[in-house]
Amino acid sequence: MDKVLVIDDNPSIISALELLFSLHQIETLSAITPQAGIQLLQQRQDIGLVIQDMNFSTDTTSGDEGRELFFAIREIEPDLPIILLTAWTQLEMAVELVRAGAADYLGKPWDDHKLVATVKNLLELHELQLQQRQSQLLVQQARHHLHQSFDLQGIIYRSDKMQKLLEMTTQVARAEVAVLITGPNGAGKEKIADIVQANSPLRERPYLKVNVAALPEELMEAELFGAEAGAFTGAGNRLRQGRFEAADGGTLFLDEIGELSPGGQVKLLRVLQSGEYQRLGSNQTRRTQVRVISATNSDLPQLIAKGKFRQDLFYRLNVIELPLPPLKDRVEDILPLAQAFLKAAADGGKQFSPQAQDALIRYPWPGNVRELQNMMQRVALLSHGKVIDEQILALPAHDNTKAPVLDFEPSRELLLQTLADCNGVIAQAARELGLSRQALYRRLAKHKIQC
C-alpha cells in the first residue's frame, strides 16, 4: 500500500501520527515545512495520501499557508487525496477546499478511529483509481493501434464492448474462414462484414451482398446459384448468373441467413463443403471458391431445435462468430454516434443540451443504430437553432422510471471499485450499481467507507 505524507510544523503531531499509523501497518513520510513536503512529493512515486496542516508560521491561524500548500500539491498531483488538519477551524475555507477536492477537513485533536478508517479507505480508493487510469491508458493504446493498423471503415464507437469486437473482427479477417455475425436488426452487422472484407486478403477481389430476407422464396436459389434460361416461370430466355458465380475468388455477404429456404440451405451446405453447385435447371456441376460472411438476427440454435435450420449448415457458417451487442448494451457509443449522424445530416455545429444527452442515453433504442441515424436525420430537418433540446428529440415514450434491481449485495471491493471508476461521484456510482443515493450511502456506512 502507498505511503502517507504528513506535512506539519509540529514534531509532536508528526510523531503521534507516525505511531498511530504504524499500529495499523500504514507507512508514513513526514515534512515540517510546505517546501520540504513539496520536494518529497516531487521525488517520490509511492505517496498515496497527504495529511497537511493549515498553519505553519508562529501565531498564524488564517489558514492561508495551508490553502497555498493545498493548491501547490494539486498542481503536482491533481488526483491525490488530501486531508486537511488544523487546530483552528475556518469554516469558509474548509468549504472552499472541500469543493476544490480535499478529501476531508479534521480538527485537532482528531478521532483516532475515524482518522485511520478514512486514511485506509482513501489509500485503497486512490490505488484503485491509479489502476483504473493505467487500464484506461492501455485501452487508449489498444484503440490507437487498432485505428492505425486496420481499415475500420469509419466506424464510430467508444465502448469497450465494441473495442473487443473489433479486435476480434480484424483478427479473423485475415483468415479466409466462414464468419457468422449475430445481433439485432439495425445494430450494424453489415458494417462489421465490411470491416472483415476490408482487412482480408480478398479485399481487392469481388465483394457481393445479398439480403436473403428480401428475396422471394422462388427466386432465392436462382439468385444465389444462377438459373438456366427458361428454368422457371418468368425466367425468360436469358441465363441468370448467380451470386456465387459472380463472387468467385472473392467474398459473399449473406444477410439474414436464417431466412434461407430448406432447398437453399441444402445447396449452400454443398457449396461450403465442396465448392460445387448447380444452376437452377441444369445438371452441370460448377465450382467456385468464395468466402462466406453471413449475418442474422435470428436465434439459429432455436431454429435448429424447431427443424427450421440445418445444424450441419450452422456449423459450416459458424466457424467464427462475431456477436454484435445491441445499442442499449453499449451506452458509451450513443452520444458519439448521435453527434456524428447529426453532423452528417445538418449544416453547422448543432449540439445537444445536457437534458437531450441524458434522454438519448436513457432511451433503450429498440431499433438500434439505424433508429438513431433516422432520428438524427429528422432532428436535423426540424431543428432551427444550434442547441437540440429534449423536446426536439421527441423520443417515443418508454418506462425509464424503474432503476435496475440488484440481485446481490455489493461487496466492499465492488463498492470501492465502482467509486474509483466514477471518480468518487456518488450519484454516478449509485446509477452504476442500480441503487438510490441513500441506499448507496447506507452501504458505504455499513462497510465504513468514507467518501
In a domain, 178, yes or no: yes
Contacts of 157 (CB under 8 A, 6+ apart): 163, 166, 330, 332, 333, 336, 337
pLDDT, tens only, 184-237: 999 999 999 999 999 999 999 999 999 998 888 778 888 888 888 766 655 556
Average of per-residue pLDDT values in the chain: 87
* 245 pLDDT above the threshold of 90: yes
pLDDT, tens only, 110-151: 889 989 988 998 998 888 888 877 887 888 899 999 999 999
Largest Cα–Cα distance in the chain?
Answer: 107
Angle in degrees, CA 176, 182, 185, rounded to 5: 130
Residue-number span of the structural domain to which 438 is assigned: 412-446
Angle in degrees, CA 354, 355, 360, rounded to 5: 95
The pLDDT value given to residue 18 = 94
Is the same domain home to 224 and 294? yes
Instruction: Tell me how crowded residue 242 is: count the other CB atoms within 10 A of its CB.
Output: 24
Nearest CA among 128, 115, 116, 131 for reference residue 415: 128
The pLDDT value given to residue 83 = 92
Identify whether the C-beta of residue 437 lies closer than 8 Å to the C-beta of residue 443: no
Is the same domain home to 255 and 384? no
From residue 129, alpha-carbon distances to 55, 239, 337, 421, 445 in Å are 30, 66, 28, 7, 21
Give the CATH number for residue 38. 3.40.50.2300
Is the same domain home to 285 and 370? no
> pLDDT tier at 306 (50, 70, 90 boundaries)?
very high
pLDDT, tens only, 320-338: 999 999 999 999 999 999 9
Amino acid letter at 299?
A: D
Identify whether the C-beta of residue 438 lies closer than 8 Å to the C-beta of residue 448: no
The pLDDT value given to residue 116 = 92
> pLDDT tier at 181 (50, 70, 90 boundaries)?
very high
Q: Which of 63-72, 355-364, 394-403 has the lowest mean pLDDT?
A: 394-403
In a domain, 144, yes or no: no
The pLDDT value given to residue 435 = 74
| Rounded Cα–Cα distance for residues 220 and 179 (Å) | 21
The pLDDT value given to residue 1 = 60
Is the same domain home to 125 and 194? no
Number of independent structural domains in the chain? 4
Is the same domain home to 12 and 76? yes
Q: Say if residue 201 is exposed, middle or buried (CB neighbours under 10 Å; 0-12, 13-18, 19+).
A: exposed
Is the same domain home to 292 and 385? no
In a domain, 100, yes or no: yes
In a domain, 254, yes or no: yes
In a domain, 399, yes or no: no
pLDDT, tens only, 361-414: 889 999 999 999 999 999 988 888 889 999 999 888 775 444 444 445 777 777
Indicate the pTM of the whole model: 0.69
